[in-house]
Amino acid sequence: MFTVFLFLIVLIPCLYFVYTTKQKSDNLKKQVILLTKQNNYIHNFKNDKVKNESISIRYESPKYKNGIIIKDCSLYIAPLEDYPQIYKLQENTKVDIHDSAQINSEIWYEISIPYTSKINTKGWIKEDFISVIENEHINENE
């Protein structure tokens, strides 16, 4: 009887370890598959989709640290609509603002989404889709 009890005490943690390791492995496999698909898409992205006109990019320090998405929009890998979309943002999502740029007289913000996963959580959106949080102003001395 004692042997059976001891066997169960050893078996249960082992099964738990195997189960959690399998779950982590499955999640990592899903991430690898997703990243491979995205990498292939970007790699095969046709240059003819990008306009052959001259692009003027003027980077500016953002005045605010945070914003709220005001309508559903796409997060782009670069600040041009012809570039791949890497994420769909939902209305009322809070975002961190890292940089801003004026491209062909349009303002774009480089933002990140404060999620625990760091996959596809940083990119560019147009100013039309974000409302800055006024009380979270960036000090010039920082």
Tell me the DSSP string of 53-105: S---EEEE--SBSEEEE-S-EEEESSSSTTSPEEEEEPTT-EEEEEEEEEETT
Q: Which helix (H) or strand (E) holds 124?
A: strand 122-126
Q: Which residues contact 76 (CB under 8 A, 6 or more apart)?
A: 83, 84, 85, 86, 123, 124, 125
Q: Look at residue 64 in the predicted model and tell me its pLDDT.
A: 87
Q: Look at residue 135 in the predicted model and tell me its pLDDT.
A: 67
Place of tokens 């999620």: 115
Nearest residue to 67 (alpha-carbon basis) of 2, 129, 5? 129
Per residue of the chain (142 residues), give pLDDT as tens: 888 888 888 889 899 999 999 999 999 999 999 888 888 877 776 554 555 567 788 998 888 899 999 999 999 998 988 888 888 999 999 999 999 999 988 999 999 998 877 788 899 999 999 998 876 555 555 4
CATH 2.30.30.40 fits 58-132, yes or no: yes
pTM score, two decimals?
0.61
